[in-house]
């Protein structure tokens, strides 16, 4: 190997050793201090070490000067005549200082971040508000929930050795998403799976759950509440450690629909749909008067619109009366100027409603002969009497009236069974009793409200008193001629359906001539409709819901407002619908049958989106602090150290070290 190559190899080895010795303290600091880098690509600045080493290895090109003798300059002359432009790298304080400055600049450019507030052995409980108001978009161009989730991620990243954390989500109720754990990946996965639910806020539930969680952990507990502070003030809660309330949001000037209703204003004519009254109540939380456009819409088509003046922090009602085709409609608040901003909270700017296809509930009347009393009472109640379908069931049926022997399999709908000849459910008819006397009735039952049955005491010709088994409820009591107690009417539940059984035939009495008979029929029909039909004004988010489907159907599909679909199980002619966490129009399809319904904001108080500056509790006040953008950055200090190193390098160079 030539001398030039040996010099080059030795120089590269020396440069590598110097670079490693300079970088080693920084690497140890990053490892021991659990430093993470916000911009790791900035460390590529360290590649400048290669040209710096090359510059220090290059031979200096000296200027030509006339001298008196070459005796003392012979070595320099030989060096200038060598073929290699490089020289052997020597120990050089200036080079070391330059390398130190470059290492510090590279480390600082990678934006090192340390968690200065991490304490050893913490039990950190993150309580994240997932209520509807957290979807307000007044937080630096993003929704409050997105900002709160980012803050939670930063807190998870700041966990130190021996620390554990738990994640609790709270809206109208609290749920433990991730129990206390040191696994950051599990915490991040639980956090990523959370989304706002369009419910109200009950922060007390979240704090109580946090208190139970840290009750016996054996570590210093710290509870961090990430919320806008909405809902009722929480009661005093002993957490055994500090509670930090991190506040999100800045505005409170919301306009929203707080009430809605849809009522028939007339029946459909021969040439068009029925007339409906649509009512909404609009509330302003702004401190100044506001004007808003209230529009009745179907899809993208506006059917009617009203301009409304809202007083400061006041309310106004708006009523539309229009002929409407069956199907989904909505009432929407719009700014007066196209493209303008209405408010930061859009969830309560829309009310979702559905116009029913038929105003008259369908009733099946099964009788071996004429039943004029039932027909008159049902027609007076607005029912549409139809025969039982061939399959024995129809999900659009609301009530079945059976005189005499019931069918082998009753439809899973509400029913009135008149003097059955055999056992039905837990009720067994007994031998006939002549002239029974009525003694009492359950005035609290919905079927018997507003009824006065005292005038029927001597009007019943005969009855077949009922014997009750478990699950039956007495509605009407009586006694025979000898004073023995009798059950003249009772009810029981069969799945979702309610059965009312009469031990006597109204046609064999004067009851159809009394005012109480049509009232009884209307009561039963209204209760059946209320249980089976979805309200036109929509349901509230999170409310339990049961939808009638055909008895032979076992699977149903629910499509949400965003187009997502999920399967539901049907049992005994009904589908239990849960998970309605978001507002909008939904459609449930079961076989050939489908039904539309609207879901609206669960709590109108969620429109009060002004963030609480502090939590108003009976305990010592907990101040709300703005959320922390990021943990402590130390890059600026490394830049300062690099400047000091370069200053020392300049001083050393001019001192000829």
Compute the distance between CA of residue 550 and CA of residue 617 in angstroms, rounded to an integer.
Answer: 52
What average pLDDT does this structure show over 273-283?
92
- For the chain, the first-to-last Cα distance in angstroms comes to 32
Q: Given a cut of 50, is residue 628 above it in pLDDT?
A: no
What average pLDDT does this structure show over 463-485?
91
Q: How far is CA 468 from CA 160, 426, 492, 499, 502, in A?
A: 67, 6, 10, 13, 13
The pLDDT of residue 126 is 95
Most confident of 41-55, 114-128, 252-266, 450-464: 252-266
Q: What is the percent of the chain with per-residue pLDDT over 70, rounded to a whole number?
A: 76
Sign of CA dihedral 191, 630, 127, 613: negative
What average pLDDT does this structure show over 103-129?
72
The pLDDT of residue 369 is 83
What average pLDDT does this structure show over 320-336?
94
The pLDDT of residue 657 is 42
Higher pLDDT, 454 or 434: 434
The pLDDT of residue 283 is 95
Higher pLDDT, 632 or 378: 378
Q: Token match 């052995």: residue?
A: 121
**What pairing do the DSSP bridges indicate for beta strands 112-114 and 632-633?**
antiparallel
What average pLDDT does this structure show over 483-497?
92
Higher pLDDT, 589 or 115: 589
What average pLDDT does this structure show over 76-81?
52
Q: Given a cut of 50, is residue 485 above it in pLDDT?
A: yes
What are the residues whose beta carbons fall under 8 Å from the beta carbon of 50, sequence distance 6 or more? none
Q: What is the percent of the chain with per-residue pLDDT over 90, rounded to a whole number?
A: 45
The pLDDT of residue 391 is 74
Compute the distance between CA of residue 640 and CA of residue 645 in angstroms, rounded to an integer.
Answer: 9
Compute the distance between CA of residue 94 and CA of residue 213 in angstroms, rounded to an integer.
Answer: 59
The pLDDT of residue 226 is 94
Per the CB < 8 A criterion, the answer to whether 103 and 26 are in contact is yes
What are the residues whose beta carbons fall under 8 Å from the beta carbon of 655, sequence distance 6 or more? none
The pLDDT of residue 183 is 93
Q: How far is CA 166 from CA 184, 229, 471, in A?
A: 10, 20, 45
Own/partner long-range contacts of 528-534 (Cβ < 8 Å, ≥24 apart) = 528/361, 528/398, 528/399, 528/413, 528/414, 528/498, 529/361, 529/398, 531/414, 531/496, 531/498, 532/398, 532/413, 532/414, 533/356, 533/361, 533/398, 534/354, 534/595, 534/597
Higher pLDDT, 482 or 71: 482
What average pLDDT does this structure show over 323-347?
90
Tokens (6 digits) for 408: 């082998």
The pLDDT of residue 455 is 73
The pLDDT of residue 57 is 62
Q: How far is CA 377 from CA 314, 457, 459, 475, 509, in A?
A: 45, 21, 19, 20, 15
> Could you give all domains of the chain from N- to C-terminal order, each with its CATH number?
3-113+636-654 (no CATH), 122-250+611-630 (3.40.50.410), 255-355 (2.60.40.10), 362-532 (3.40.50.880)
Q: Which of 110-124, 430-444, 535-549, 621-635 is predicted with the least confidence, judged by mean pLDDT?
A: 621-635
Task: Write out pLDDT tens, residues 400-412.
Answer: 999 988 888 888 9
Tokens (6 digits) for 618: 């009976």
Q: Which of 113-117, 151-155, 376-380 is predicted with the least confidence, judged by mean pLDDT?
A: 113-117
Instruction: State the average pLDDT for the chain.
Output: 83
Compute the distance between CA of residue 243 and CA of residue 238 in angstroms, rounded to an integer.
Answer: 10
The pLDDT of residue 84 is 47
What average pLDDT does this structure show over 580-603?
92
Name the band, by pLDDT with cuts 50, 70 and 90, for residue 152. very high
Tokens (6 digits) for 468: 């009750």
Task: Write out pLDDT tens, residues 160-204.
Answer: 778 899 999 999 999 999 999 999 999 999 999 999 999 999 999
* pTM exceeding the 0.75 threshold for the entire prediction: no
Compute the distance between CA of residue 305 and CA of residue 41 in angstroms, rounded to an integer.
Answer: 56
Q: What is the DSSP letter of 512?
A: G
Question: Which of these, 287, 289, 288, 294, lies nearest to 308 by C-alpha position?
Answer: 294
Name the band, by pLDDT with cuts 50, 70 and 90, for residue 290. very high
The pLDDT of residue 630 is 41
Own/partner long-range contacts of 569-572 (Cβ < 8 Å, ≥24 apart) = 571/495, 572/412, 572/495, 572/496
Per the CB < 8 A criterion, the answer to whether 424 and 408 are in contact is no
The pLDDT of residue 236 is 80
Q: What is the DSSP letter of 69?
A: -
Compute the distance between CA of residue 187 and CA of residue 655 in angstroms, rounded to an integer.
Answer: 57
What average pLDDT does this structure show over 205-227?
86
Give the total residue count for the chain: 657
The pLDDT of residue 651 is 63
Q: Given a cut of 70, is residue 75 above it in pLDDT?
A: no
The pLDDT of residue 304 is 95
Triad 31, 37, 43: Cα angle to 5°: 95
What are the residues whose beta carbons fall under 8 Å from the beta carbon of 225, sequence distance 6 or more? 127, 129, 203, 206, 207, 243, 244, 245, 246, 615
Name the band, by pLDDT with cuts 50, 70 and 90, for residue 82. very low
Q: Given a cut of 60, is residue 352 above it in pLDDT?
A: yes
What are the residues whose beta carbons fall under 8 Å from the beta carbon of 57, sequence distance 6 or more? 8, 11, 15, 86, 87, 89
What are the residue ranges of helices labelled H in 516-634?
516-532
Q: What is the DSSP string of 224-271?
A: EEEE---SSPPPP---SS-EEEEE-------EEEEEEEEEE-S---TT
């Amino acid at each position: 190997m030539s001398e030039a190559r040996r010099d080059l190899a030795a120089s590269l080895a020396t440069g590598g050793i110097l670079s490693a010795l300079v970088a080693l303290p920084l690497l140890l600091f990053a490892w021991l201090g659990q430093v993470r880098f916000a911009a790791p690509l900035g460390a590529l600045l360290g590649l400048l070490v290669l040209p710096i080493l090359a510059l220090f290895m290059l031979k200096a090109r000296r200027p030509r000067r006339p001298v008196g003798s070459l005796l003392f300059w012979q070595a320099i002359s030989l060096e200038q005549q060598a073929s290699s432009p490089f020289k052997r790298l020597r120990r050089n304080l200036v080079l070391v200082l330059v390398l130190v400055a470059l290492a510090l600049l590279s480390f600082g450019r990678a934006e090192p971040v340390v968690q200065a507030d991490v304490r050893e052995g913490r039990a950190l409980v993150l309580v994240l508000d997932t209520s509807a108001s957290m979807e307000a978009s007044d937080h630096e161009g993003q929704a409050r929930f997105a900002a709160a989730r980012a803050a939670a991620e930063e807190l998870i990243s700041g966990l130190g050795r021996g620390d554990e954390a738990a994640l609790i989500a709270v809206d109208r109720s609290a749920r433990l998403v991730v129990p206390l754990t040191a696994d950051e990946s599990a915490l991040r996965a639980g956090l990523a799976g959370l989304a706002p639910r369009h419910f109200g806020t009950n922060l007390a539930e979240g704090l109580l759950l946090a208190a139970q969680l840290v009750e016996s952990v054996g570590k210093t507990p710290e509870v961090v509440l990430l919320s806008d502070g909405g809902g009722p003030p929480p009661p005093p809660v002993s957490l055994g450690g500090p509670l930090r309330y991190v506040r999100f949001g800045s505005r409170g000037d919301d306009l929203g629909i707080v009430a809605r209703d849809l009522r028939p204003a007339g029946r459909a004519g021969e040439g068009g749909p029925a007339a409906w009254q649509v009512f909404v109540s609009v509330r302003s939380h702004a401190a100044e008067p506001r004007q808003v456009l209230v529009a009745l819409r179907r899809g993208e088509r506006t059917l009617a619109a009203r301009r409304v003046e809202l007083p400061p922090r006041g309310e106004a009602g708006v009523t539309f009366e229009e002929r409407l085709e069956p199907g989904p409609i909505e009432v929407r608040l719009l700014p007066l100027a196209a493209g303008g901003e209405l408010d930061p909270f859009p969830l309560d700017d829309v009310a979702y409603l559905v116009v029913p296809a038929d105003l008259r509930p369908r009733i099946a009347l099964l009788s071996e002969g004429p039943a004029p009393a039932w027909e008159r009472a049902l027609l007076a109640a607005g029912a549409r009497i139809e025969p039982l379908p061939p399959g024995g069931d129809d999900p659009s049926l609301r009530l079945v009236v059976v005189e005499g022997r019931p069918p082998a399999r009753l439809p899973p709908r509400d029913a009135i069974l008149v003097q059955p000849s055999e056992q039905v459910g837990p009720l067994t008819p007994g031998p006939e009793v002549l002239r029974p006397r009525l003694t009492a009735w359950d005035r609290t039952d919905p079927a018997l409200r507003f009824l006065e049955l005292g005038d029927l005491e001597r009007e019943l010709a005969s009855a077949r008193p009922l014997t009750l088994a478990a699950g039956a409820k007495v509605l009407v009591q009586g006694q025979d001629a000898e004073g023995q107690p009798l059950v003249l009417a009772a009810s029981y539940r069969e799945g979702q359906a309610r059965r009312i059984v009469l031990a006597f035939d109204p046609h064999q009495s004067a009851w159809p001539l009394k005012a109480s008979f049509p009232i009884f029929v209307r009561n039963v029909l209204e209760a059946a409709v209320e249980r089976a039909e979805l309200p036109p004004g929509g349901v509230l988010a999170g409310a339990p819901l049961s939808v009638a489907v055909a008895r032979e159907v076992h699977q149903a599909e629910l499509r949400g407002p965003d187009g997502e679909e999920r399967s539901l199980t049907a049992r005994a002619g009904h589908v239990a619908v849960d998970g309605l966490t978001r507002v909008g129009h939904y459609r449930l399809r079961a076989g050939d049958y489908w039904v539309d319904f609207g879901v609206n904001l669960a709590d109108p108080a969620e429109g009060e989106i002004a963030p609480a500056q502090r939590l108003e509790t009976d305990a010592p006040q907990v101040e709300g602090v703005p959320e922390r953008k990021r943990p402590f950055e130390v890059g600026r200090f490394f830049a300062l150290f690099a400047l000091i190193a370069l200053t020392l390098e300049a001083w050393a160079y001019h001192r000829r070290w």
